[in-house]
Amino acid sequence: MIATRWILWALAGCDEGGASVDSAAEDDTQATLTLHPNESIDVYSTASWTSNSSTRTRLEVTTGSSPVLVTDWIDGPDASDVPLLGLWTSDTFTVSLTNEAGAVLATSTVTTGAGPTELSRMTVTGAASWSGYVVTQIGTTETQTVVILAPNGRPVWYWQVAGIYLNRVLLRRDGLGVWLLASPDPGLGIPGWIGSVAWDGSLLVDVEPLGHDGEGCSHDLFELADGRVAFLGPDTRNIDEIEYAGDSLFALDAEGNEAELWSFWDDFAPTPDVIAPFSWTHANALRWNNERQSLWVGSREMSALVELDPATWRPVTVFGGATPSFVSPEETALPLGQHQFDFLDDRLVVHDNRDATRGSRVVVYDLDFAAEPPAAVETWEGAHEPPIFDFIMGDVSWVGPERLLVTWSATGLIEERHLDGTVPWSVGLDLGALFPYTQYVEALPGSTPATTE
């Protein structure tokens, strides 16, 4: 479990008494609006209000003259503890209570703090052309800082932990906070961990999964539609007096019960030419394909992506590897030691780590699932100049038909990279810090972004 000493609360800069309130009238309608800055996370606030409005109400947030976000409509004139997610660090925001007629019923202001010092490691270059947010973390030797970034590169939420190494952060489906996964470190006696943190910084889930024979969890997780959390975990077995480390996919339910969904051992077997038995499959990534309603598992050492049918948890197709389902022309180079990947309709983009000689790249494949057999054609690739070799991690996400968010983990760099070769925006970290996996989301729970400024 997370020891108390691991949790570092960043106490700073909040308006202790709540924010000031200005009331405006719509005919005879009176309203009050109060903001409650969080004592631990100084970019996060909740809002409460009362009014006599006869229509739905919501909040509209601006800074200066620039719109920032609008919250979801509240069915009724009154609300309490409505989360305000999306306010970035070190700025003053005006929050207006409005109704469906567009009338401003009340206004209030809140000033956010600067957050922990780790957030100052980031340097933003250029201007983003995408809207939404990036969910990731800043990894350093001592402290992991979970962070959500706006397109301006500024944090809109954070949480810190020390003593473990976080691989993955994902938004919860119910909007209550984020899921976290930390890989184990047997050398330091640190077990793998799955947790969930609420927006106010409190722990919602705190579990050390058993996995296969107590080997725990590693690398990645994904919340299934039924509320269970699917996670990867090592699955080591002895074959002819050799220990081979395979991987399995498990599910964790709300009561803490675990179930094995699928194992590489079910459909693959190590061959005598395996170079590193202790890392035979090295499963490192999970991704959902919305078009096919399937979950994909990435294996670094097999250089393969396995598509699983969640109705049966059986493989449907295999992309890459020694026994691929997809056929490709000779000029199509398949990934080597890849990490994360993403789908957009029938296009697959992969963070292809490759090797130190060539450096890493991102590559797009057009997939034809209807062909017999299925076909894959490489249609685009991009690399950083000078070359970067991501010897750990690496991520990529579609943010539009011609736009990608590329995470060069080892260098601590996230780029907006277009298929025409331009790179209009990036955020980089100081030397010695890295961005592990990232998640792109179009909106945070309870609100819609109103600008990319």
Tens-digit pLDDT profile for residues 231-270: 999 999 999 889 999 999 999 999 999 999 999 999 999 9
Cβ contacts of residue 381 below 8 Å, gap of 6+? 352, 361, 362, 363, 364
Cα Rg of the chain (Å, integer): 23
In this structure, of 70-74, 112-116, 189-193, 270-274, the range with the lowest mean pLDDT score is: 189-193
Q: pLDDT-derived band of residue 3, with 50, 70 and 90 as boundaries? A: very low
Contacts of 271 (CB under 8 A, 6+ apart): none
pLDDT at 25: 41
How do the residues of the chain divide into helix, strand and coil, expressed in percent and rounded to 5? Answer: 5, 50, 45
With cut-offs at 50, 70 and 90, classify the pLDDT of residue 271. Answer: confident
Sign of dihedral through CA atoms 199, 202, 204, 207?
positive
CATH of domain 118-446: 2.120.10.30
Confidence of residue 17 (pLDDT cuts 50, 70, 90): very low
Nearest alpha carbon to residue 62 among 92, 93, 98, 103: 93
Task: Locate the domains of the chain by residue range.
Answer: 21-111, 118-446
Alpha-carbon span 13 to 98, nearest angstrom: 28
Cα–Cα distance measured from residue 407 to residue 198, given in angstroms and rounded to the nearest whole number: 25
β-strand 347-352 against 341-344: which pairing, if any? antiparallel
Tell me the average pLDDT of the chain: 91
pLDDT digits (tens, 9 = 90+) for 317-331: 999 999 999 999 998
Dihedrals φ, ψ of 10, to 5°? Answer: -90, 100
Which H/E stretch holds residue 265?
helix 264-267
Q: Give Cα 190 distance to the centre of its chain.
A: 23
Structure confidence at residue 29 (pLDDT): 59
> Does pLDDT of 77 surpass 70?
yes
Q: Is the pLDDT of residue 284 over 70?
A: yes
Q: Fold for domain 21-111?
A: Immunoglobulin-like (2.60.40)
Is the separation of the CB atoms in 381 and 350 below 8 Å?
no
Give phi and psi for 176, each to the nearest 5.
-80, -15
